[in-house]
């Protein structure tokens, strides 16, 4: 649990990371009783020094996901270090209060290294949060949700099959909470703050209470919300975080409340090409080709995620604040390019997941990936599936987009012959650097009820660093690029896709 060690702006601390749990000052590090790294508890304004040692027989580098740090501190794969080397990170915590995380970001090895445990949480606190006096210490619970597979002798087992299984993404058959199986969390009859984080490689959860109680969100990826919001369920894609306010008061001692991942459709591959519409290629068949033995938990199945056991009565009461932290919506008038958004087209042509039909290049950037520093940019992320091309994208965006439709049309024309191989699936898209806001989310909804099973679970308010883009969807975001110049990655956070090249750089200068 987080506590506040020092006043903002005064702290300098050293933390040695060996890929294992290490005891640090108890106020700065909280151990996770598992293969996960310790939680770093930071304060806004704090200056942090982290010494990262590589004791693995392979290169690695650490990225502070969601944190606003300079290029050299951001864990770009070009900075990977070899066994025996160390990398010293130093940065000032500029983020507001919220829940972030860190993980390996090694070229073509991110998925395997994160899977094996090179990941941990980061909490940030600030003065706004402290004024709110939200449930703290033992009433502030971090919940890392991951799916894994195990070998017969209980070792983590990763993908063993080929490209087909990787493109669908790793799906485990066992759900772990904070690295533990079958975890039951004992709680008292009072309010809690739950920091939920999807640390899975590619599984997308549709989180809902088994008894239908709405979920009350108080924070998203990068910060607390302006005010609490209720949802019937919440979609949580890889790398996304959501903070919930949960009040167990009034629940019966001895009873359980289970958070489920509810059934949904539409995230797994659809074939483009127009020959087949609808759902015949969808979901269930999607990963049945994996050929894995044992139980199977497909994307979109219903299963329990974590159980809360009402263990103890208390009369303490804690009221949900009606407003949380100051929040200002970014609008067209704030951005440098209101009429010509930067485009990020998501495609999976011939089994290759790409961004704007390009694969990852370590340091190269295209013209459209150059961004002037200290600007705020509109960015449109869209699925390049067949329906959107045929339907024309102007209608969907609701505005002309003249300056970019040429480029896009040209590229499309060049690849037109292979459209039948175009697959479309859900991609959680993450942008490094500062948090962004979601301006709009539009869908062609040609997949019918599949989309209807997820659409009420998107949190489109607040500050985000990762956004789930479903097949047929187009999401427009507004993102500041302030303070730091250099290369900043954007990529699919389905880690198998990232390692397959669904990643690019922005050059901020």
Taking CB under 6 A as the rule, does residue 62 contact ligand C2O? no
CA 191-193-196 angle, 5° bins = 140
Kind plus residue range of the DSSP H or E element containing 219: strand 215-219
Burial of 104 (C-beta count, 10 Å sphere; 0-12/13-18/19+): buried
Among 13, 68, 103, 464, binds ligand C2O (CB under 6 A): 103
Which is nearer to ligand C2O, 13 or 76 (by Cβ)? 76
Name which of Cu ion, ligand C2O, none residue 348 binds, using a CB cut-off of 5 to 8 Å depending on partner kind.
none
DSSP 87-150: EEEEEE----SEEEEEEE--TTTHHHHHHHT-EEEEEEE-HHHHHHT-S-GGGEEEEEEEEEEE
CB distance 457 to 206 below 8 Å:
yes
Name which of Cu ion, ligand C2O, none residue 44 binds, using a CB cut-off of 5 to 8 Å depending on partner kind.
none
In 277-414, DSSP assigns E strands to: 303-312, 342-349, 352-355, 370-371, 375-383
| Number of residues this chain uses to bind ligand C2O (CB under 6 A) | 10
Taking CB under 6 A as the rule, does residue 267 contact ligand C2O? no
CA dihedral 354, 357, 360, 366 (to 10 degrees): -140
Q: Any residues with CB less than 8 A from the CB of 259 and at least 6 apart, and which?
A: 207, 208, 209, 210, 304, 305, 306, 307, 308
Contact footprint for Cu ion (CB under 5 A): 65, 427, 432, 492, 494, 497
Kind plus residue range of the DSSP H or E element containing 218: strand 215-219
Among 13, 63, 68, 427, binds ligand C2O (CB under 6 A): 63
Taking CB under 6 A as the rule, does residue 497 contact ligand C2O? no
DSSP 398-422: TS--HHHHHHHHHHHHHHGGGGGG-
Among 144, 239, 376, 475, binds ligand C2O (CB under 6 A): 239
Among 430, 447, 497, 504, binds ligand C2O (CB under 6 A): 430
Taking CB under 6 A as the rule, does residue 491 contact ligand C2O? yes
Name which of Cu ion, ligand C2O, none residue 105 binds, using a CB cut-off of 5 to 8 Å depending on partner kind.
ligand C2O
Which is nearer to ligand C2O, 105 or 441 (by Cβ)? 105
Name which of Cu ion, ligand C2O, none residue 206 binds, using a CB cut-off of 5 to 8 Å depending on partner kind.
none
Give me the least distance between CB of 123 and ligand C2O, in Å please.
16
Query: Considering only 157-165, 240-248, 258-266, 486-494, which stretch makes contact with ligand C2O by CB under 6 A?
Result: 486-494
Which is nearer to Cu ion, 100 or 146 (by Cβ)? 100
For 192, 230, 235, 271, 302, the CA distances from 180, given in Å and listed in that order, are 21, 29, 22, 37, 20
Which is nearer to ligand C2O, 103 or 149 (by Cβ)? 103
Which is nearer to ligand C2O, 166 or 432 (by Cβ)? 432
Residue with tokens 């990371």: 17
Name which of ligand C2O, Cu ion, none residue 241 binds, using a CB cut-off of 5 to 8 Å depending on partner kind.
none
Query: Considering only 339-347, 372-380, 407-415, 485-493, which stretch makes contact with ligand C2O by CB under 6 A?
Result: 485-493
d(CA 228, CA 216): 6
d(CA 20, CA 116): 11
Taking CB under 6 A as the rule, does residue 65 contact ligand C2O? yes
Among 13, 68, 105, 408, binds ligand C2O (CB under 6 A): 105
- CB nearest Cu ion: which residue? 492
81 forms beta bridges with 60
CB distance 329 to 438 below 8 Å:
no
Taking CB under 6 A as the rule, does residue 489 contact ligand C2O? yes
Binding site for ligand C2O (CB under 6 A): 63, 65, 103, 105, 239, 430, 432, 489, 491, 493
């Amino acid at each position: 649990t987080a506590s506040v060690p020092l006043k903002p702006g005064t702290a300098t601390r050293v933390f040695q990371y060996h890929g294992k749990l290490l005891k640090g000052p108890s106020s700065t590090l909280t151990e996770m009783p598992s293969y996960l790294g310790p939680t770093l508890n930071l304060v806004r304004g704090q200056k942090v020094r982290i010494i990262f040692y590589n004791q693995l027989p392979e290169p690695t580098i650490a990225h502070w996901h969601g944190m606003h740090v300079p290029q050299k501190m951001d864990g770009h794969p070009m900075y990977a270090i070899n066994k025996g080397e160390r990398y010293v990170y130093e940065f000032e915590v500029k983020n507001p209060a919220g829940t972030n995380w860190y993980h390996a970001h090694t070229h073509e090895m991110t998925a395997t290294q994160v899977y094996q445990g090179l990941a941990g949480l980061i909490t940030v606190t600030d003065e706004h949060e402290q004024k709110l006096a939200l449930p703290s210490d033992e009433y502030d619970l971090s919940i890392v949700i991951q799916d894994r597979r195990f070998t017969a002798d209980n070792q983590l087992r990763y993908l063993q099959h080929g490209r087909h299984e990787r493109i669908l993404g790793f799906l485990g058959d066992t759900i772990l909470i904070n690295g533990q199986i079958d975890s039951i969390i004992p709680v008292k009859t009072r309010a809690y703050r739950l920091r939920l984080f999807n640390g899975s490689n590619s599984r997308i959860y549709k989180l809902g209470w088994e008894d239908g109680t709405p979920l009350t969100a108080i924070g998203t990826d990068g910060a607390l919300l302006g005010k609490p919001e209720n949802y019937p369920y919440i979609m949580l894609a890889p790398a996304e975080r959501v903070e919930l306010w949960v009040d167990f008061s009034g629940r019966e001692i001895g009873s359980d409340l289970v958070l489920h991942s509810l059934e949904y459709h539409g995230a797994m591959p659809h074939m483009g090409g127009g020959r087949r519409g609808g759902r015949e290629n969808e979901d269930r068949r999607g990963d049945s080709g994996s050929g894995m033995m044992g139980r199977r938990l497909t994307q979109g199945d219903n299963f329990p995620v974590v159980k809360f056991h009402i263990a103890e009565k208390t009369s303490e009461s804690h009221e949900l604040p009606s407003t949380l932290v100051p929040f200002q919506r970014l609008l067209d008038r704030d951005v440098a390019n209101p009429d010509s958004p930067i485009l990020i087209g998501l495609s999976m042509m011939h089994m290759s997941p790409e961004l704007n039909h390009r694969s990852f290049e370590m340091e190269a950037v295209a013209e459209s990936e150059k961004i002037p520093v200290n600007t705020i940019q509109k960015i449109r992320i869209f699925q390049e599936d067949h329906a959107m091309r045929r339907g024309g994208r102007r209608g969907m965006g609701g505005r002309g987009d003249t300056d970019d439709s040429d480029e896009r049309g040209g590229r499309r024309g060049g690849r037109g012959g292979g459209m039948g191989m175009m697959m479309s699936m859900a991609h959680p898209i993450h942008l490094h650097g500062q948090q962004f806001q979601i301006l709009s989310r539009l869908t062609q909804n040609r997949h019918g009820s599949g989309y209807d099973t997820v659409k009420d679970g998107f949190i489109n308010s607040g500050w985000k660093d990762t956004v789930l883009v479903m097949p047929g969807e187009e999401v427009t975001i507004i993102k500041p690029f302030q303070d730091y110049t250099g290369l900043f990655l954007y990529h699919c956070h389905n880690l198998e896709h990232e390692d397959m090249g669904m990643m690019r750089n922005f050059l901020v200068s």
